[in-house]
Amino acid sequence: MSEEQIYDFGIRLRRLREDRGLSRNAFAKKLGVSKETIYRYENNLQSPSLERTKEIAVILRTSIDYLVGLDNAYTVKFPSLSKEQRAALDHFLKVFVDKFEDS
């Protein structure tokens, strides 16, 4: 993937959808649109409204900033985790990253 493509809304949308294991059809149903609309979003033939972009971010558990290229951090949100669960997940990720940075 080229540097230019990483900022591409359609590419980010498709990648997130696929990473979440959603087909275009399943994602379209969750979003309340046609699978053709998802195709148009992913191929930058149509841009979603701000409200629709917010809905996309919620469904895909990411940020609007990531979707539109303002933030390059691949974000995954887990709103249902307790404070204790988030702390445990943060600790795990830190240990995991530290282990592989030393490799």
In-domain check, residue 102:
no
Integer Cα distance of 15 and 43 in angstroms: 12
pLDDT at 73: 62
Amino acid at the residue 53: T
Instruction: Please give the C-alpha separations between residue 68 and each of 9, 25, 63, 103, in angstroms, as whole numbers.
Output: 5, 22, 9, 33
In-domain check, residue 38:
yes
pLDDT at 3: 44
| Range name among 18-22, 53-57, 75-79 with the lowest pLDDT average | 75-79
Question: pTM value?
Answer: 0.68
The helix or strand, by DSSP H or E, that contains position 88, with its residue range, turns out to be: helix 83-101
DSSP 8-state assignment for residue 24:
H
Model confidence pLDDT, tens digit, residues 32-76 = 999 999 999 999 999 999 999 999 999 998 889 888 888 766 666
In-domain check, residue 32:
yes
33, two tokens: 């649109």
pLDDT at 14: 95
Contacts of 93 (CB under 8 A, 6+ apart): none
Integer Cα distance of 44 and 42 in angstroms: 6
Amino acid at the residue 66: Y
User: Which residue range(s) make up the domain with 14?
Assistant: 5-78
Domain count, the chain: 1
Place of tokens 């691949």: 74
CATH code for the domain of 10: 1.10.260.40
